[in-house]
Amino acid sequence: MKGKVYRSTGSWYHLKDEHGKFYSARIKGIFKIDDITSTNPIAVGDVVEYELENEAEGSVIITDILERKNYINRQSPRAKHQHHIIAANLDQSILIATLKEPRTSQGFIDRFLVASEAYHVPAVVLFNKSDLYGKKETAAFDNLKGMYEDAGYQVLLCSVKQGEGLNELGALLTSKQTLFSGHSGVGKSTLINWLLPELQLKTKDVSEWSGKGLHTTTFAEMYDLPGGGSIVDTPGMREFGLVDISKQELSHYFPEMRALLQDCQFNNCLHVEEPGCAIKKAFVEGRLHEDRYISYRTILDSIEEKQY
């Protein structure tokens, strides 16, 4: 029997079968998939095979995992050399960012976009809490919007408080399996509550936070939309550490750079100080946004190459 993983606590899973019935599931034995050392072998969005364990209690045992179309992972915040799979089998990912309460850095957004590119998940950047933006934030948003749109990404501006951009968001979600990701407190669960009011997901006032790193949503969970499609709500992340991306391939995951790569003189060009570099040239001529190039260089410097 086949089911889809809707919730994962790390040791327990909620599965939905083909008829819409939910089960509590656990894993038997140890799963090792694709040689990935992952802190979570099974993630929300995975399709799995299961066997009934106790019909009366609705409990089942996961026996196999079907091949993933894709997934998004990041460095485990607890174990640097392990991955944490955020969600699998995605049609798109939406990075929920804010420019105030809290502020999302460009570096964080760019890392998330790189991970989405690396696993072929189309990404959208949504700036929330537009009602809080003053002159400074509005100018910053205009710059970011232009920059990401030039790179090929769709950018949305929303305010759950004032109802801005929400119909546009709703239209984007129809019939798709979508990941909602971002820092804690940016409004992921609040946006989902607007889309699915009967859920009443827990949300928390930024002023109620007792410290950094505490988040309101504690486990990833998927919710079906009435018109088809589903959203994966996730706990807020403080950092987005990339895994398994080499220096050599990084520029392939900046779409606006990818288009220029074949014009570099050397095919192993890292676009730093090499002669005849098409990317450096585009940057100098103003055809590549300075902040994206800086972000590229920062990420490039942060990549520790594996020692063979």
Ligand X SMILES: Nc1nc2c(ncn2[C@@H]2O[C@H](COP(=O)(O)OP(=O)(O)OP(=O)(O)O)[C@@H](O)[C@H]2O)c(=O)[nH]1
Q: Which does 106 bind (CB under 5 to 8 A by kind): Mg ion, Zn ion, ligand X, none?
A: none
Closest CA to 9 of 34, 32, 42: 42
Contact with ligand X (CB under 6 A) among 16, 68, 176, 215: 215
Q: Based on CB atoms, which residue is closest to Mg ion, 188 or 271?
A: 188
**Binding span for Zn ion by CB under 5 A among 119-127, 181-189, 237-245, 270-278:** 270-278
Using the rule CB under 5 A, is 271 a contact of Zn ion? yes
- Judged on CB neighbours under 10 Å (0-12, 13-18, 19+), 250 is buried
Q: Is the peptide bond before 197 cis (omega within 30 degrees of 0)?
A: no
Chain residues in the site for Mg ion (CB under 5 A) = 188-189, 216-217
**Binding span for Zn ion by CB under 5 A among 9-17, 59-67, 133-141, 265-273:** 265-273
Tokens of 79: 């174990």
232 neighbors 95 (Cβ within 8 angstroms): no
Q: Based on CB atoms, which residue is closest to Zn ion, 50 or 293?
A: 293
43, HSE (Cβ side, Cα atoms, 13 Å): 25
Q: How far is the CB of 303 from Zn ion (least distance, A)?
A: 16
Q: Which does 107 bind (CB under 5 to 8 A by kind): Zn ion, ligand X, Mg ion, none?
A: none
User: Given phi > 0 = left and psi -120 to 50 = alpha, else beta, which region is 10?
Assistant: left
Q: How far is the CB of 157 from ligand X (least distance, A)?
A: 10
Q: How far apart are CA 259 and CA 248, in angstroms?
A: 15
Q: How far is the CB of 217 from ligand X (least distance, A)?
A: 3
Q: How far apart are CA 132 and CA 209, in angstroms?
A: 18
197, HSE (Cβ side, Cα atoms, 13 Å): 1
Q: Based on CB atoms, which residue is closest to ligand X, 3 or 236?
A: 236
66 neighbors 235 (Cβ within 8 angstroms): no
Using the rule CB under 6 A, is 100 a contact of ligand X? no
Q: How many residues bind ligand X (CB under 6 A)?
A: 23
Q: Based on CB atoms, which residue is closest to ligand X, 129 or 280?
A: 129
Binders of ligand X among residues 118 to 177 (CB under 6 A) are 128-129, 131-132, 159-161
Tracing tokens 């520790």 back to the chain, one arrives at 304
Q: How far is the CB of 67 from ligand X (least distance, A)?
A: 30
CB atoms within 10 A of CB 236: 19
Residues of this chain that interact with ligand X (CB under 6 A) are 128-129, 131-132, 159-161, 184-190, 203-206, 215-217, 235-236
